[in-house]
A and B are shown apart, each in its own frame.
Chain A
Amino acid sequence: MNRNIFISFGLHIFLVIITALSLPFLAKKPIDLPPIISVELIQITDKTNIPFAPKAKKIIEKVKVKEKKLVSEQAPPKKIKKQKPDAVPLPDEKIKKIKKIKDEKQNPEKVETEVKQISEFEKKELFDTNSIAALIDKSKTESAETNKKLDKVTQDQDKEMDFGGLTLSEEDALKAQIFGCWSIPLGLPFNEDLLVRIKLQLKPDGSIIKTEILDHARMNRPGQGFYKVLAESALRAIKLCQPLRVPSTGYERWKDMQLNFDAREMLEG
């Protein structure tokens, strides 16, 4: 019996010694503070105008592919239609812009950043006008590039408005305002498509001239009764929020606006 206790004791002491040797001592070490770096805050809203950045890459790839196609397709028809441009009653501004664009030096990169501004919604128009405009223009490669320019927001004078969307801060301000006005009907089914898109025409002070519900047909479709309720709640939100928090300048670029109300996030969560 004693012998066993002795052996057990010995083994325990052995364990303690091993642990003692291998453990780092838990003393307090002095903390090394990294040297303080001074940081300067600068406004970057002018440059952060990329509302659709995540989609940009996709769009750029697609555009590049289409670009190639366009350039090759344009060749044959152009020969025939050479005389026509004069007969087409293009609005004056359009012609002015085309000239301006031709004058400017175009980097390929700049073209790409322009592409970023186009929303998915507009993509179709972009490519359609490309093929048509190609008929009008004389030069091959230039046409491909300039056509893209045509559809863009091109208020060249104002540098801020180079890109068509709202700046991040402008968008955030408007969103925050509408979040407060939109009473989401809790009875909506949360496993359905709860997106209602409303086009607005605005006055310079942010009040509403006209509203238009896209997908209007869905309002009366059987089984989609909730869509009507959803759309009405969005309309109420807009009316309630008048005058909308619009930017103080650049009326031309935001006088037509589309608000995409999506209740899914709130109801699923």
Chain B
Amino acid sequence: MNLSKILKNAFLIILASLVLTACATKKTSTTSGQMQGDVYTGSDSVEYLASGVPDRVFFATNETVLTTASRETLRKQAGWLRKNSDINVVLEGHADERGTREYNLALGERRANSAKDYLMTYGISSDRISVLSYGKERPIDSGSSPLAWSKNRRSVTVKAN
């Protein structure tokens, strides 16, 4: 093998490897900083039970586990409920539209229940909390984008009386 050939080869290989390294990996997390992974972290649709007490927590697709942020919110809710012991609440669970209707009803119920269980660990009696699922029937955002869907995967604490 003559020298020119070897040099040509070497050149090609170096070029190829440079091309590869130049490709940036796609960032899967959201652009606007309102989602972390799949979970909504923004404040657009959030309402407040009282000053500093957000009324809702958000979930990842098909998930019913509470994120750290959710637990933070629920702790605040528990605190507020302890201070206002005459108030009862309904936890309304929701799902996004990217699923079958009946399963989403069950998913919403499970999400609301996750929130309820957590509130109970902070001493709120189950008599004060009831659970209701709306599945995908009551989206807060009618858009068809991942951001809209993330806003809809929620459990909302609503004053019952």
Chains A and B touch each other in the complex, with CB atoms below 8 Å apart: yes
Q: How far is the CA of A19 from the CA of B7 in the complex (A)?
A: 11
Taking residues whose C-beta sits less than 8 angstroms from the other chain, chain B's interface range is 10 to 19
10 smallest CB-CB distances across A and B, nearest first, come from A20-B10, A20-B9, A23-B9, A25-B5, A20-B6, A19-B13, A16-B13, A25-B8, A16-B10, A25-B9
Q: Which residues of A contact B13 (CB under 8 A)?
A: 16, 19-20, 23
Q: A19-B13, A25-B5 are in contact. List 18 more A-B contacts (CB 8 A).
A: A16-B10, A16-B14, A17-B10, A19-B9, A19-B10, A20-B6, A20-B9, A20-B10, A20-B13, A21-B1, A21-B6, A21-B9, A23-B9, A23-B12, A23-B13, A25-B8, A25-B9, A26-B12
Q: Which residues of A contact B6 (CB under 8 A)?
A: 20-21
Q: How far is the CA of A25 from the CA of B5 in the complex (A)?
A: 7
Chain B 1-37, CB within 8 Å of chain A: the 1/0 string? 1000111111011100000000000000000000000
Interface size on A, residues (CB 8 A): 8
Chain A 8-29, CB within 8 Å of chain B: the 1/0 string? 0000000011011101011000
Cβ distance B9 to chain A, nearest Cβ, rounded Å: 4
Q: Which residues of A contact B10 (CB under 8 A)?
A: 16-17, 19-20
What are 20 A-B contacts defined by CB distance under 8 Å? A16-B10, A16-B13, A16-B14, A17-B10, A19-B10, A19-B13, A20-B6, A20-B7, A20-B9, A20-B10, A20-B13, A21-B1, A21-B6, A21-B9, A23-B9, A23-B12, A23-B13, A25-B8, A25-B9, A26-B12
Q: How far is the CA of A206 from the CA of B9 in the complex (A)?
A: 73
Q: Which residues of B contact A17 (CB under 8 A)?
A: 10
Q: Which residues of A contact B8 (CB under 8 A)?
A: 25
Cβ distance A28 to chain B, nearest Cβ, rounded Å: 13
Q: Which residues of A contact B5 (CB under 8 A)?
A: 25
Of listed A17, A19, A20, A26, residue having the most chain B CB within 10 A: A20
Q: How far is the CA of A141 from the CA of B7 in the complex (A)?
A: 82
Chain A 133-145, CB within 8 Å of chain B: the 1/0 string? 0000000000000
Q: Which residues of A contact B9 (CB under 8 A)?
A: 19-21, 23, 25
Cβ distance A25 to chain B, nearest Cβ, rounded Å: 5
Cβ distance A243 to chain B, nearest Cβ, rounded Å: 57
Cβ distance A221 to chain B, nearest Cβ, rounded Å: 43
Q: Which residues of chain A from 42 to 82 have a CB within 8 Å of any chain B CB?
A: none
Cβ distance A261 to chain B, nearest Cβ, rounded Å: 43
Q: How far is the CA of A25 from the CA of B1 in the complex (A)?
A: 10
Q: How far is the CA of A70 from the CA of B12 in the complex (A)?
A: 78
Q: Which residues of A contact B14 (CB under 8 A)?
A: 16
